[in-house]
């Protein structure tokens, strides 16, 4: 998993892409309150695992992908707590 910070609300998430079109986002507990859009979805009763996050976060993720910081073909593996590579 790769750490990406939202440029707007500073929410930190872990991102992994198994293909250019697939994006897996792992929210931290803090993100659920830090991102206003995420908090709104939660308030509406949505499944946290299916919330794509705020627009700015998606833009931030795309930006990191463009910079090559998040590979789009990473092999599926379990995240290691406390370690981002």
Q: Give residues in contact with Zn ion (CB under 5 A).
A: 6, 8-9, 11, 35, 54, 56-57
Tokens linked to 39? 């908090």
Nearest approach, Cβ of 62 to Zn ion (angstroms)? 13
Give the nearest distance from C-beta 52 to Zn ion in angstroms.
Answer: 11
| Tokens representing residue 56 in the block | 């700015």
Q: Which is nearer to Zn ion, 15 or 57 (CB)?
A: 57
Closer residue to Zn ion, CB minimum distance, 50 or 77: 50
Q: Closest separation between CB of residue 3 and Zn ion, Å?
A: 14
User: Sheet harboring 12-19: ordered strands across?
Assistant: 2-5, 12-19, 22-27
CA distance 42 to 37: 9
Those residues whose C-beta lies under 8 Å from the C-beta of residue 46, and which sit 6 or more positions away, are none
Whichever of 4 and 54 has its CB closer to Zn ion, that residue is 54
């Amino acid at each position: 998993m790769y750490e990406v910070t939202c440029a707007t609300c500073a929410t930190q998430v872990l991102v992994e892409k198994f293909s250019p079109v697939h994006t897996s986002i792992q929210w931290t507990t803090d993100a659920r309150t830090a991102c206003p859009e995420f908090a709104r979805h939660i308030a509406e009763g949505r499944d946290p695992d299916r919330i794509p996050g705020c627009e700015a976060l998606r833009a931030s993720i795309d930006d990191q992908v463009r910079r090559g910081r998040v590979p789009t073909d990473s092999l599926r593996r379990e995240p290691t707590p406390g370690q981002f590579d």
